[in-house]
Amino acid sequence: MGLSKEAKKKINALIKVVVENHISGAPNRSKANSGNPFVIALLKDFEPLVHRIHGLKTSLGNVMEKIAQIIALDAWGEGNVQRKTREIVNIPVNVFREIDSIINNLSNARTLSDYEKEKKIILSACKNPSKETEQHTFEFDLIVTDTEEKHTYIFEMKSPDPNTTEVSGAKKRLLVAIAWAFFKTKSEKIDAHFAIYYNNKYPKVYKNPKVHYYFNPKGGTLVQEEFWNFLGKNKETFNSLIELFESYGKMNKKKIWDAFSKLIKKN
């Protein structure tokens, strides 16, 4: 089993809330549109429907972190999973300098991303700390602790096509997370990954130059099945999650169509 009954129940409830929000009162929102005059001119009678479906897709994307938390809690247990934590990070100045140097070299294409090498640089700086420290507040999307292996995992979750600013910002947070976790746990068993929760190139290999400038696909990223199956500690977690969405869609197909079809101007 990829997901427990309790996890499925909680995920199903989240899907329902998002879908119901977008189909309830749909006819009363028929005037809503994307604001794009070219799309409106081209699609006209269908544009309100397209706009609402796009809104539904965006809303579903916004709950994926909550779904990730449900799956992680189900697999790793209470107390071993944290989501959207704001941490006051106080680490040596020399560590921040190494982090900035890594990011600057990647931004200017002086080097290619090498996850293992970058992690070694950060940990080496942590072991030879400067006396002066620097303090900043960072938010981490998801932290998972493997108590058996005493290993800490930090994830930054994103859709497959984030903008460049989002990617570079995520890179800094994840490098900082490595240092933060080292000083917190006194252990080198740390990994900080960029998690792409679905592959928009599937069945082809995920490729995005904006992402791969900063994250090595062989170490710095977890994409689709890799991410969900890791969270669920089961190679069937991703498939189970897809089946859950598919099942909800089939069971509520008529209700969804009845609501959305009223947005189409038939005259």
Please tell me the number of Cα atoms within 13 Å of 63 on its side-chain side: 18
pLDDT band at residue 83 under the 50/70/90 scheme: very high
CA 221 – CA 218 distance, rounded (Å): 7
CA 169 – CA 103 distance, rounded (Å): 9
Torsions phi, psi for 207 (to 5 deg): -140, 130
Contact yes or no for 252/19 (Cβ under 8 A): yes
pLDDT band at residue 1 under the 50/70/90 scheme: low
CA 225 – CA 235 distance, rounded (Å): 8
Degrees, nearest 5: CA angle 174-179-182: 120
pLDDT band at residue 40 under the 50/70/90 scheme: confident
Q: Where are the domains of the chain?
A: 1-62+236-267, 76-233
What are 27's two structure tokens?
A: 């006819």
Torsion of CA 62, 68, 71, 73, to 10 degrees: -110
Contact yes or no for 154/192 (Cβ under 8 A): yes
Per residue in 207-237, pLDDT tens?
999 999 899 888 889 999 999 999 999 999 9
Residue 116 pLDDT greater than 90, yes or no: yes
As a 3-state breakdown, the chain gives helix, strand, coil percent values, each rounded to 5, of: 55, 15, 30
264 or 139, which is more confident?
139
Burial 52-86 (b: 16+ CB within 10 A, else e): beebbeeebeeebbebbbbbbbbbbeeeebbbeee
Choice among 41-45, 70-74, 147-151, 257-261 with the minimum mean pLDDT: 41-45
Q: Return the number of other C-beta atoms located less than 10 Å from residue 13's C-beta.
A: 10
Q: How many residues does the chain have?
A: 267
CA 152 – CA 185 distance, rounded (Å): 8
CA 208 – CA 196 distance, rounded (Å): 11
Over residues 126-130, mean pLDDT: 96
First to last CA, the chain: 49
pTM over 0.85: yes
